[in-house]
Amino acid sequence: MAGSGVAGEGALFDEGLFVAQAEHRAEQRLSALAPLAVRMRPATLGEVVGQDHVLAPSSPLRRLIEGGCAASVILYGPPGTGKTTLARLVSQATGRRFEALSALSAGVKEVRAMIDAARRRLGREGGDATVLFIDEVHRFSRTQQDALLGAVEDRIVLLVAATTENPFFSVVSPLLSRSLVLQLHPLSDDDVQTLIRRALADPRGLGGSATLTPAAEEHLVQLAAGDARRALTALETAAEAVISGGACEVDLACVESVMDQAAVRYDRAGDQHYDVISAFIKAIRGSDVDAALHYLARMVQAGEDPRFIARRLVVHASEDIGMADPTALQTAVAAAHAVQFIGMPEGRLALAQATVHLATAPKSNAVITAIDSALADVRGGATGPVPAHLRDGHYAGSARLGHAQGYRYPHDAPDGVLVQQYPPDALVGRNYYEPSDHGAERVLAQRLARLRQIIRGH
């Protein structure tokens, strides 16, 4: 019986070894089939390129990766800047288990199951802590995000969440307050160049099987727009085409065939939507027509609703130009009508025309200042009754109330203007509109001074 037991244990050992070897071979095959961007994902902190602002010595993220910190983090930044890489490096700290969920496929049930497993694992003596990586966390519903709160609060899981959208727009406040929010920046051109050259030489990548001409490399770097994944994906596709044809040099024409447009990071509901339109309006206000056209092009290329752009132009025409160029509003409204009438892509021409007109027009905020000042007085109670001579006199009995009595008809005066009180008593002499000396308002300011002098009788 004893011999039988030993033989049985040996058989089990051989079977276990066979399974382990088979699993290892399977992992190797899968690794070889993985995209270049995945194969070249940094395995150590030393391989990470860029993001120095969040990886400085003693920074929270570096201490988290090195195992000296236990805080949940939300990594926020454009695609291809290293969010998944950093999450995996966090998991490699001593005594941590890595689990990943995608907001595209996981529901509340999967979240709770993962948390329950982490709780059981942590409850065992010597049990590993769990790093829970959630990609695209902005796609989680409020209910799904709320399901994480208790586990994050009690550190049952160390949450590392990644999002391309501003978390202050898309993540619930309680989860934000329990996490560090770290913003990653697009990689610099030098960073992308470093990663491309590493992928060409590294055995995990192309291992020297292909070379890249300087012009092709420059094109890859430029159109990647700080997105490492985009650059490596294009490199892999171009290299495969060259190698399959029996060559090894990837030239500019080959890269252009797989990558002819730069990546434009833009989201129509998040921070890029607001940041770019803000920069667009501020460029127009600052009379920088070239910058304004740049931001307009970014919005058009990203598929922003042209009616939204047109509405902002209409608002800007009165807010920042006003009577300095009264035709600016006409142009903006005409552009809005044109966009509605003809649609895109031709509508971009009307938007560009309005942008050029508004950016090069003289500027004045006198209109918005005037109406806001008047509104402030009204909200503050500075109203008073309408003067009796201005009240409606078109009904029986109005004369007995003194309404419309003593009203002076301006057209009876030679210049069409005469002395008369128009505001309530409490606001006599109050000036709201103060024209600038820009554009048409310079002439208007002189006329307005004369009008006030005549109307007020001094």
Looking at residue 23, what is its pLDDT?
46
Is pLDDT larger for residue 376 or for residue 96? Answer: 376
- DSSP bridge partners of 102: 135
Looking at residue 102, what is its pLDDT?
77
Question: Tokens for 292?
Answer: 């304004």
pLDDT band at 267 (very low <50, low <70, confident <90, very high): low
Compute the distance between CA of residue 70 and CA of residue 64 in angstroms, rounded to an integer. Answer: 6
Q: Tell me, yes or no, if the pTM score tops 0.95.
A: no
Question: Tokens for 349?
Answer: 């021409």
- DSSP bridge partners of 135: 102
Domains of the chain from N-terminus onward = 51-183 (3.40.50.300), 189-258 (1.10.8.60), 271-360 (1.20.272.10), 381-456 (1.10.3710.10)
CA distances from 30 to 23, 102, 231, 239, 303 (A): 10, 20, 22, 20, 37
pLDDT band at 19 (very low <50, low <70, confident <90, very high): very low
Distance linking the first and last C-alpha atoms of the chain: 124
Q: Is the sign of the CA dihedral 333, 338, 344, 349 positive or negative?
A: negative
**Averaged over 14-24, what is the pLDDT?**
48
Asked if the peptide bond before residue 345 counts as cis, ω within 30 degrees of 0, the response is yes
Residue in 329, 220, 235, 186 with CA at minimum distance from that of residue 35: 235
pLDDT band at 358 (very low <50, low <70, confident <90, very high): very high
Token pair 């990594």 is found at 75
CB–CB of 194/49 below 8 Å? yes
Looking at residue 158, what is its pLDDT?
86
**pLDDT of 451 over the 60 cut:** yes
CA distances from 314 to 112, 305, 331, 352, 414 (A): 49, 15, 8, 13, 37
| 387: DSSP letter | P
Looking at residue 16, what is its pLDDT?
47
Q: Coil, strand or helix: which one is 298?
A: helix
Compute the distance between CA of residue 45 and CA of residue 93 in angstroms, rounded to an integer. Answer: 11
Q: Coil, strand or helix: which one is 75?
A: strand
Which are the contacts of 288, defined by CB distance < 8 A and separation ≥ 6? 359
46, 49, 52, 56: CA torsion to nearest 10 = -10
pLDDT tens-digit series, residues 281-330: 999 999 999 999 999 998 888 778 899 999 999 999 999 999 999 999 99
Looking at residue 43, what is its pLDDT?
87
Looking at residue 275, what is its pLDDT?
83
Question: Tokens for 437?
Answer: 């000396």
